[in-house]
Structure 1
């Protein structure tokens, strides 16, 4: 079955479920207290009261949203002949549909790039910033620029005294 047919069947099933199901106001997949916090976090909603039905409807909408995004990611995993859902499947599902454009900044797109293990930084590899070559020692020139960082490395520059060179510490990304 094509992806559009699978999605159409999903939405038909959701519509049937909504029309034929008895309203269950007590049982939810998502915690209602957390849903209320999300609703109240919007500055436009904060000064107003929230009806009792709004968190229930919002929880159901979130549930359907999660199911559809998971279905799209699952179809991508099946296209790649896998039976395990990966982060890259979710990223591809987000990038293939304009409806999920608001998630582009949240879901990283560079998941297919293999991560390189981070190696500790050798401080001797960089010249101290206060020891400049004779030609570059004029006060108008900035200190030399260290080599570019790898994509998986970040450094924190800490200067203890104004006269001391900055020290670099490796920070591993999570």
Structure 2
């Protein structure tokens, strides 16, 4: 599995799947969630509403999949990262689960290329360096069981996250 780092807008990528840092309601929110719903159009929200009606949303650490609407990707994998509460509420384990369950779901849909945003580091205030380490470690450990995934892109919107990933991937 090849790991690529880039800075930019995840909604512009031509990959099999992009990961959305969603909230438990799956009804859209701020940050990357808003950007994905806006760029992908109403089809993504309609599919999220079907999932919500069927199972009541998406729990923290879990992942669900929809089509990508108007995006260049085939799928959007919606995962819910944890809100940082000082690190005393299983936040690290939940963030690991969000990445792992996204990869697991991608594998079950024969995804070959997947792009991740910086999950939980925006309005959820997860410490950026700690989140980057978890993301890289989880993807690296998953590599052995990845039957389909050939390329993982960490797409950092801001320069701070980009530099953190750059240093950790050296």
Is the TM value for this pair above 0.5? no
TM-score interval for Structure 1 and Structure 2 normalised by the shorter chain: under 0.3
Greater share of strand residues, 1 or 2? 2
Computing the radius of gyration from Cα coordinates, the structure with the larger value is 1
Scaled by the length of structure 1, the TM-score of the pair is 0.22
